[in-house]
Amino acid sequence: MRKLLFKIFSNLSVCGFAALCLLCFFQTLGLSYAEETRFTKARELMIAKDLKGRDIKDSKVLDAMRQVKRHLFVDKQLQKAAYSDHPLPIGEGQTISQPYIVALMTQILNVSPGEKVLEIGTGSGYQAAVLAKLTDYVFSLEIKKGLHEKANKRFKKLGYNTTKLKYGDGYFGWEEYAPFDAIIITAAANHIPPPLIKQLKTGGRLILPLGNTTLYQTLTLITKSEKDLKVRHFSGVVFVPMTGKMQK
């Protein structure tokens, strides 16, 4: 058997060996080469139509959205719709945001390599994975234990080794790793949690869907200066409500 395997591999060209390795990788994810090819085409169409075709111009963000495979962050039965520009359910009453909104929030946040970013609401882990393509210092909190555990397993499987995930109420932030250069809240909030402002560096940015948590919100960017907070409003959005302390 060893002789047979040696003969097979010794006769493989470099390209052939690379193709075999790629095929084995797809199989570990439960995907065929044909399926992966279809997803790649769908992802490129999403980038061209739903991102570049609108107002996503940052090349770093576009590259990150190209690299992160959204179909690996949803259940198998929803994978065919993974690159459609709308939210998808991920369980426990939560959703994975539409690609355009993920790209828009990331673009507005303007993350640079080496910056520390805190995400409130891990969900499926998709937004954190996109941020992880921009900096090695991503920290993400999830209040739903089932979603946290699922995202944790997914990140280990996909090799997102530098991203730190934690189960807990994001309202209180993650003081252990504060201060942060940027904070992103991926659930609707009717006010900005004071602990998050405290954990934001001077000059730091915080983006969130701010407003009525049962109707619609406004995508809002907060920039912290030494004296006050500068506020800038963007488009209207609809997010699922932030739970925990926010609702009390």
Q: What is the pLDDT of residue 23?
A: 47
pLDDT, the chain, mean: 91
194: preceding bond cis by omega (within 30 degrees):
no
- The model's pTM: 0.87
Question: Choosing from 10, 84, 97, 225, which is the catalytic residue?
Answer: 97
Q: Residue 6 — pLDDT band, cuts 50, 70, 90?
A: very low
The closest alpha carbon to 155, from 174, 135, 128, belongs to 128
pLDDT at 239: 96
pLDDT in tens, 47-90: 999 999 999 999 999 999 999 999 999 999 999 999 999 999 99
Q: Is 140 a catalytic residue?
A: no
Domain 85-247 = CATH 3.40.50.150? yes
**pLDDT tens across 118-175, in order?**
999 999 999 999 999 999 999 999 999 999 999 999 999 999 999 999 999 999 999 9
Q: For the chain, state the CA radius of gyration.
A: 20
- For residue 32, the model assigns a pLDDT of 78
